[in-house]
């Protein structure tokens, strides 16, 4: 565990006084030429510089974005600097850096917008805080637009619905187009395009992993639960984040999905081509890449001839799937219209539980007292279930259907007020470790309080990024990495399969592989 200054947690949340420049040094690695090339983005002659004519290019792309995205156009104009969002961002709370206040983050771009695109900024720049576009401004943007996890907490409280995430996405895309792409995301996306998943796991490796899971479940339960890959004619295509194939606690969740499908008696398959639910095209604000990644799923569904698509536990992946899959890769007229397209695994499991077709032994989870972390992209950018807000109730209902001990964390940190794990939005990279630790503060604080007040031992999540982030940061806050669990891991523990023999001991030696 490398040494970082970990912010103090408190019994009650504290809004810090501002400390200018506190995080000015935080900046992820810039994508080198190879990755920029792979993405179809330009790279500068010399590393660390910007492309020739970057300034004109920046303004040109910005104009294009203003013409294409109503959100950006309206948000650039509409902010009244009321300050309601200033204390809402976990990165501000954890770092005290005023440029991590959502409105100040937007302002990095808005100052340029005003200077070049508005009357007031063209003629009275000082009056309205407009600035010239310089290399320093670009560097600052690169730094602070990579201190935003696009979690939308600020948007909940803004009287005009101004969503800083939209501004961050636009800014990141513009930066990438002038040679300042982020290495982490730009390294990952081409792997999805070429191989099918973020990790670059080829088909044989996947097959191997899935066989391993089948063996593990058989050893545990004596029941053969299948994890099919590329099986033509299956009813359901499961698209799940690739971390589910090997990382802890993700993989326990995947075993849970497999058991639920098995118990429900449906035919399903994974696809090696669409062996990834994540869509980092969202993070970098690039419609074309996001579409390309989504179209893989369309192609896979057609090739395999499935009737339904179900998504595994992942926050931003579900945001893209729920909101954008229809837009980017639809229409889905070739799928069975009797089911939601796409469907979330929790919707599937909840339905099975409601219909009473799962045999559940809740006591299997009695060694834990649980709480639930609402992932930002599920809470504020999508829905699971039929009613507004059922993204909050569905996971809790499933957890409570398989566990006896459950408590919520403080209400100002759950539901649509949930705090980001600190590692979302394309920031789950080691070069941003300090930011990730500090950004986790509000969630860690709420968890710690639930631990001390309610005796909570474990926190369940439905997002691959949250799970990886928490395994990393929990130890910094004096907790252990196995305190984060997958919701379907709980389902997996409790489900009793037909023909399940002697209970095998559940293994506790969670290993960090994320």
Partner 1 sequence: MTALSITYVVLFYVAMIILFGGLINKIMLYARVPAPLKIPVTPAPLTKAGVVYRIFYEVVFFNSLFRGSKWTWIFGWMFHLSLLLAFFRHLRYVISPDSFIWPLVNNMVVQSFGHYAGFTMVIGLAGLLARRILVDRVRYISSPSDYLMLLLIMGIGVTGLGIAYVSHTDVVQLKAFIMGLFLFDWQNLPSDNVLLVHLTLVLLLAVIFPISKLLHAPGLFFAPTRNQVDNPREQRHISPWGAELEAKDGRNA
Q: Where are the alpha helices (DSSP H) in 222-270?
A: 250-264
- The answer to whether 155 contacts partner 1 (rule: CB under 8 A) is yes
Q: How far is the CB of 360 from ligand SF4 (least distance, A)?
A: 36
71 binds, among ligand HEM, ligand SF4, partner 1, none (CB under 5 to 8 A by kind): partner 1
Q: Which residues contact 218 (CB under 8 A, 6 or more apart)?
A: 224, 225
The H or E element spanning position 450 is helix 441-454
- The answer to whether 78 contacts ligand HEM (rule: CB under 6 A) is no
Cβ proximity to ligand HEM, 80 vs 357, nearer residue: 80
Cβ proximity to partner 1, 3 vs 387, nearer residue: 387
- The answer to whether 154 contacts ligand SF4 (rule: CB under 6 A) is yes
Of residues 15, 19, 24, 82, which one binds ligand HEM by CB under 6 A?
82
Let me know if 473 is exposed, middle or buried by CB neighbors in 10 A (0-12, 13-18, 19+).
Answer: buried
Kind of pairing, strands 484-486 and 458-461? parallel
- The answer to whether 152 contacts partner 1 (rule: CB under 8 A) is yes
Of residues 36, 143, 186, 382, which one binds partner 1 by CB under 8 A?
382
Q: Is the peptide bond preceding residue 331 cis, with omega within 30 degrees of 0?
A: yes
Q: How far is the CB of 249 from ligand SF4 (least distance, A)?
A: 24
Can you read off the two tokens belonging to residue 341? 């397209």
- The answer to whether 478 contacts partner 1 (rule: CB under 8 A) is no
Cβ proximity to partner 1, 155 vs 217, nearer residue: 155
| Segments of 192-259 assigned E as strands | 236-239
How wide is the angle at C-alpha 249 spanned by C-alphas 265 and 353, nearest 5°?
A: 35
The Cα diameter of the chain in Å comes to 79
Backbone angles phi, psi at 182, to 5 degrees: -90, 135
Q: How far is the CB of 83 from ligand HEM (least distance, A)?
A: 8
Q: In angstroms, what CA-CA distances link 483 with 216, 412, 447? A: 22, 22, 10
Cβ proximity to ligand SF4, 104 vs 399, nearer residue: 104
Q: Which residues contact 317 (CB under 8 A, 6 or more apart)?
A: 239, 241, 277, 278, 279, 311, 464
150 binds, among ligand SF4, partner 1, ligand HEM, none (CB under 5 to 8 A by kind): ligand SF4
- The answer to whether 80 contacts ligand HEM (rule: CB under 6 A) is yes
Alpha carbon distance 438, 455 (integer Å)? 24
Alpha carbon distance 182, 495 (integer Å)? 42
- The answer to whether 77 contacts partner 1 (rule: CB under 8 A) is yes
Alpha carbon distance 9, 24 (integer Å)? 23
Q: How far is the CB of 131 from ligand SF4 (least distance, A)?
A: 18
- The answer to whether 122 contacts ligand SF4 (rule: CB under 6 A) is no
Q: In angstroms, what CA-CA distances link 394 with 248, 339, 401, 462? A: 23, 17, 10, 11
Residues 416/380, Cβ–Cβ less than 8 Å: yes
Alpha carbon distance 248, 269 (integer Å)? 22
Q: Between 114 and 153, how does the x/- string for binding to ligand HEM read (CB under 6 A)?
A: ----------------------------------------
Alpha carbon distance 227, 244 (integer Å)? 13
Alpha carbon distance 110, 114 (integer Å)? 6
Q: Which stretch binds ligand SF4 (CB under 6 A): 150-158, 395-403, 469-477, 506-514?
A: 150-158
Cβ proximity to ligand SF4, 153 vs 250, nearer residue: 153
Of residues 21, 48, 388, 499, which one binds partner 1 by CB under 8 A?
388
Q: How far is the CB of 91 from partner 1 (least distance, A)?
A: 14
295 binds, among ligand SF4, partner 1, ligand HEM, none (CB under 5 to 8 A by kind): partner 1
Q: Between 104 and 143, how does the x/- string for binding to partner 1 read (CB under 8 A)?
A: x--x----------xxx-----xxxx--------------
Q: Between 381 and 400, how does the x/- string for binding to ligand SF4 read (CB under 6 A)?
A: --------------------
Residues engaged in binding ligand HEM (CB under 6 A): 80, 82, 159
Residues engaged in binding ligand SF4 (CB under 6 A): 79-85, 88-89, 91, 102-103, 105, 148-154, 158-160, 162, 164-165, 168, 420
């Amino acid at each position: 565990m490398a040494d970082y200054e970990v912010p103090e947690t408190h019994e009650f949340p504290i809004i810090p006084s501002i400390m200018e420049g506190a995080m000015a040094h935080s900046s992820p690695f810039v994508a080198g030429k190879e990755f920029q090339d792979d993405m179809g983005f330009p790279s500068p002659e010399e590393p660390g510089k910007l492309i020739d004519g970057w300034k004109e290019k920046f303004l040109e792309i910005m104009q294009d974005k203003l013409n294409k995205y109503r959100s950006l156009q309206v948000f650039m104009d509409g902010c009244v600097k009321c300050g309601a969002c200033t204390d809402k961002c976990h990165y501000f709370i954890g770092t005290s850096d005023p440029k991590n206040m959502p409105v100040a983050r937007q302002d990095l771009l808005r100052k340029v917008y005003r200077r070049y695109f508005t009357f007031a900024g063209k003629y009275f720049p000082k009056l309205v805080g407009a600035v010239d576009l310089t290399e320093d401004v670009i560097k600052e943007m690169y730094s602070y637009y990579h201190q935003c996890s696009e979690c939308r907490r600020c948007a909940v409280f803004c009287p005009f619905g101004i969503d800083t995430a939209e501004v961050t996405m636009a800014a990141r895309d513009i930066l990438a187009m002038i040679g300042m792409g982020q290495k982490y995301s730009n390294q990952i996306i081409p792997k999805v395009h070429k191989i099918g998943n973020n990790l670059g796991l080829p088909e044989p490796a996947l097959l191997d992993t899935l066989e391993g899971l089948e063996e593990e479940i058989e050893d545990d339960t004596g029941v053969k639960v299948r994890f099919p890959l590329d099986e033509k004619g299956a009813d359901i295509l499961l698209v799940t984040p690739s971390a589910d194939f090997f990382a802890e606690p993700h993989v326990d969740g995947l075993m849970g999905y497999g058991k639920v499908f098995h118990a429900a008696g449906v035919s399903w398959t994974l696809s090696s081509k669409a062996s990834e639910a994540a869509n980092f095209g969202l993070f970098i604000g690039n419609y074309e890449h996001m579409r390309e990644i989504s179209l893989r799923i369309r192609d896979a569904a057609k090739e395999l001839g499935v009737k339904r698509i179900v998504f595994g536990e992942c926050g931003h992946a579900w945001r893209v799937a729920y909101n954008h899959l229809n837009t980017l890769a639809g229409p889905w007229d070739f799928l069975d219209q009797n089911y939601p397209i796409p469907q979330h695994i929790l919707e599937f499991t909840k339905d099975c539980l409601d219909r009473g077709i799962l045999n559940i032994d809740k006591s299997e989870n009695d060694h834990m007292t649980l709480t639930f972390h609402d992932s930002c992209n599920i809470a504020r950018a999508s829905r699971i279930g039929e009613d507004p807000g059922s993204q909050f109730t569905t996971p809790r209902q499933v957890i409570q259907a398989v566990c006896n001990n459950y408590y919520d964390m403080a209400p100002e940190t759950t539901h649509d007020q949930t705090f980001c794990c600190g590692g979302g939005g394309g920031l789950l990279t080691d070069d941003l470790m300090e930011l990730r630790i500090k950004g986790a503060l509000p969630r860690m604080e709420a968890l710690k309080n639930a631990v001390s007040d309610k005796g909570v031992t474990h926190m369940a999540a439905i997002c691959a990024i949250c799970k990886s982030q928490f395994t990393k940061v929990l130890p910094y806050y004096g907790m252990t990495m196995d305190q984060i669990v997958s919701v379907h891991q709980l389902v997996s523990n409790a489900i009793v399969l037909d023909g399940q023999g002697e209970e095998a001991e559940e293994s506790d030696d969670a290993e960090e592989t994320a």
